[in-house]
Chain A
């Protein structure tokens, strides 16, 4: 295997020693499994070469970006060849006049924004992991982020893709313009979690930066009050560009880790950002402040300088990392609910926490109802591992009962695939399966992901032990 792969990508771009493979055993989720080898292609041609080789040898392929995924998407649950994109990280073209950029899949999200910032542009989808995650991984997960509330998620910014299908064919989906004729295969492909093909090039839309931005921090003594504020901001049709909530456990962890300037004693805070014309931002800030105060905010602080604003965001974006200090492990959920149902859902999560005796830290995209309850636990304790999964599933079931979803941005992967029947009927899944067969007929590309593998509806898999 090693020799074959080396002939395609060069010896230095193949890893097959167990020690080298350890790094590729897990992503950001709780699952782990070892690939047989890792190959790092440098060009689309090399990707085609690897895919053809894998096809001839009946080897499964798992594409992998930065491995920050939170649903086990890049975990080689059936072993096989892992394909990494660390050598495909060129920004191929920046075309500001047409508001476009063309990138290779290994480009890190933030690097694209950095490359165009001085010209007054940015790439809008901003996952909290944007310093590390790749655009290829973003496309595959249809990643969101705090500012996708106003600007849309990955799919709203991707125009075209070059992809290699599992039979080795290279095709172009979409293009450099909107509404290319035929079915919207780009739209279908974004969010398909590496199960339809391998992305080798991406054409994205660039967005112009706003003239003004204002960041408010609303501090509450009761979670209910913060949650009610979100519901009212939405229903009053005020449209912040970001509206994030963090609860007390998260705030304390964030302060321990980064000293961002959040209160340690608050029950929760809302981090609210407004963008646009100077005048619009001023008038909306006044409205937001009034809503926060009416719902019992202890104080509403406006970031006085860009430095203060950056510190608040650094705290928010590093929150997951900071939670690592609170417990040996945590299990992050990604359920979605209608935005006005946040108050009752937060109460439900609190009950779950009490019932299972597990602390749950909440840090999430409140403005679009995308929850991230982080269940803290000790993965060395088998009983806790079982309880964590059950508690997580209970929360997701509650989200679905309110008309919501089991995942808003982290993807289904191998973590929630058995929960898909909460949302979808056998027919829904069969139709998706028919689509999958068109692209990936023998299922050799990223097997064991997205679709349920067990017959019993909603059966839950217990994740293996994961040392954090």
Chain B
């Protein structure tokens, strides 16, 4: 179907990329969506289970599949299909890496403002199937706001699409919305059309340090209610700052990072006016960065989750989404829950959108062979408590990243909503045999 050379038997490759108790031994590498469709037709006929693989960076992300028979890699599907730069749109194949996509756009002074973790290896398809976003979501929105069309192959091998290549379009159901964040359970994304954005002429980054979470959130709210519309507004505790490697910039217990972009006059005014918002707010530290070192700083902030997972392979990352006014309570109480159980924790919040990454990992005595068992006992319990905390505060949360070791010991999904049965019905309508990524998704879908 895709040529013998493009079907490999490669157990280690599969085991290091596919999140399954029994990973596949075989990986197929189709050259295009027609080949991919033929593979899925065969899989349906033979009742194989299939997992799509992009950069293989999400092996610790999402639910865990039981048994997967075949991996399908999108590594040969990296073409730029259509890039009418002056229309500010691009259409590319889903296997392109986020880095390559950024480089293509940068040649035209444009950008995709979705900063994602694992930038180097992550593919577009995988990242949007996982619905990962980062700091600039505040200024530009998430995948649901920039994707204008998606082509995909259905579980039974049909070529389908939704949306198109223009920035405004309401013809037919918005299938792209359904596929974003669907974790490869409804179809395999093969081609994506996106809105892209001009790189702003000037950008300024402002770093403020505080002694308490309350003082920090008071300032983030003041910034959100100021005339500035920041691109990004991040709030890290010192532990998260250390994970991201940004404590060289500021060592305060809570650090706020703001970026403001536009014509130079806007950055100048922010340099002048933003520090004024801090008055009387217990600010320990204030710095403006307007040179090239900003990029490095924001890359570190965007990549915080993968840096954390490398440093703490036994740790979990909870993604909580909260009403803005509940950030203080959530960050404070989550820290308390972790400390009570003698676990280490760190909070990295996108303070303008209410999305918080709460990291939780075993420390000192709970590491190593014996301590590991203890951690396996208590860490899931605390993670679930933090998820419930988010729900109690009017938000939602899941344990987005956790190692295979917690399989069966952790409910990563929180309380299922009353829309869950509808989701199950959508899954069975589009993938009646459970071919794609079984039990990898919300509630075990």
User: Which residues does chain B contribute within 8 Å of A208, judged by CB atoms?
Assistant: 224-225, 229
Inter-chain contact B178/A184, CB cutoff 8 Å: yes
For A188-232 the 0/1 string (1 means CB < 8 A from B) is 101110000000000000001011000000000000000000010
Inter-chain contact A369/B265, CB cutoff 8 Å: no
Inter-chain contact A175/B429, CB cutoff 8 Å: no
Interface range, A side: 35 or more
Inter-chain contact A276/B173, CB cutoff 8 Å: no
Residues of chain B having any CB pair with chain A under 8 Å: 82, 84-89, 109-110, 131, 141-142, 144-145, 154, 158-162, 164-175, 177-178, 180-182, 186, 197-198, 221, 224-225, 227-229, 262-263, 265-266, 268-269, 319, 321-325, 353-355, 394-398, 413-414, 417-420, 422-423, 425-426, 429-430, 441-443, 445
User: Which residues does chain B contribute within 8 Å of A180, judged by CB atoms?
Assistant: 321, 396, 417
Inter-chain contact A171/B418, CB cutoff 8 Å: yes
Inter-chain contact A338/B269, CB cutoff 8 Å: no
For the complex of A and B, 10 pairs with smallest distance between CB atoms: A187-B177, A237-B198, A235-B86, A279-B265, A211-B227, A177-B321, A408-B168, A182-B442, A405-B169, A98-B323
A99 contacts B by Cβ under 8 Å: yes
> Contacts A176-B394, A280-B263, A339-B87; is A423 near B420 (CB within 8 Å)?
no
Cross-chain contact of A171 among B142, B321, B422, B426 (Cβ < 8 A): B422
Inter-chain contact B87/A338, CB cutoff 8 Å: yes
A253 contacts B by Cβ under 8 Å: no
User: Which residues does chain A contribute within 8 Å of B422, judged by CB atoms?
Assistant: 165, 171, 185, 438-439
Cross-chain contact of B168 among A144, A277, A425 (Cβ < 8 A): A144
Residues of chain A having any CB pair with chain B under 8 Å: 95, 97-100, 120, 141-142, 144, 148, 152-153, 155-156, 165, 171-173, 175-188, 190-192, 208, 210-211, 231, 234-235, 237, 239, 276-277, 279-280, 282-284, 336-340, 365, 368-370, 403-412, 416, 420, 423-425, 427-432, 434-439, 450
Inter-chain contact A280/B266, CB cutoff 8 Å: yes
Q: How far is the CA of A451 from the CA of B334 in the complex (A)?
A: 49
**Interface CB pairs A-B, < 8 A, 10:** A175-B396, A176-B395, A178-B321, A179-B355, A184-B177, A185-B423, A423-B171, A425-B161, A427-B158, A435-B178
User: Which residues does chain B contribute within 8 Å of A438, judged by CB atoms?
Assistant: 422, 425-426, 429
- Looking at the assembled complex, report how far the CB atom of B52 sits from the nearest CB atom of chain A, in whole angstroms: 17
User: Which residues does chain A contribute within 8 Å of B418, judged by CB atoms?
Assistant: 171-172
User: Which residues does chain A contribute within 8 Å of B398, judged by CB atoms?
Assistant: 181
Q: How far is the CA of A208 from the CA of B228 in the complex (A)?
A: 10
* Most central of A97, A181, A210 by chain B CB within 10 Å: A181
Q: How far is the CA of A381 from the CA of B126 in the complex (A)?
A: 56
Cross-chain contact of A184 among B180, B228, B262, B322 (Cβ < 8 A): B180
- Looking at the assembled complex, report how far the CB atom of B193 sits from the nearest CB atom of chain A, in whole angstroms: 10
Inter-chain contact A428/B269, CB cutoff 8 Å: no
Q: Look across to chain B and name the residue whose beta carbon is closest to the beta carbon of A237.
A: B198
Inter-chain contact B168/A370, CB cutoff 8 Å: yes
Q: How far is the CA of A156 from the CA of B177 in the complex (A)?
A: 11
Q: Look across to chain A and name the residue whose beta carbon is closest to the beta carbon of B137.
A: A178
Inter-chain contact B175/A432, CB cutoff 8 Å: yes
- Looking at the assembled complex, report how far the CB atom of A170 sits from the nearest CB atom of chain B, in whole angstroms: 8
Q: How far is the CA of A404 from the CA of B149 in the complex (A)?
A: 12
User: Which residues does chain A contribute within 8 Å of B175, judged by CB atoms?
Assistant: 188, 431-432, 435
Inter-chain contact B159/A427, CB cutoff 8 Å: yes
- Looking at the assembled complex, report how far the CB atom of A461 sits from the nearest CB atom of chain B, in whole angstroms: 17
Inter-chain contact A190/B426, CB cutoff 8 Å: no
- Looking at the assembled complex, report how far the CB atom of A183 sits from the nearest CB atom of chain B, in whole angstroms: 5
Cross-chain contact of A369 among B166, B266, B396, B442 (Cβ < 8 A): B166
> Contacts A99-B324, A181-B398, A185-B419; is A431 near B160 (CB within 8 Å)?
yes
Q: How far is the CA of A430 from the CA of B145 in the complex (A)?
A: 25
Q: How far is the CA of A453 from the CA of B232 in the complex (A)?
A: 47
Inter-chain contact B178/A188, CB cutoff 8 Å: yes
User: Which residues does chain A contribute within 8 Å of B413, judged by CB atoms?
Assistant: 181
Q: How far is the CA of A336 from the CA of B166 in the complex (A)?
A: 7
User: Which residues does chain B contribute within 8 Å of A190, judged by CB atoms?
Assistant: 174, 177
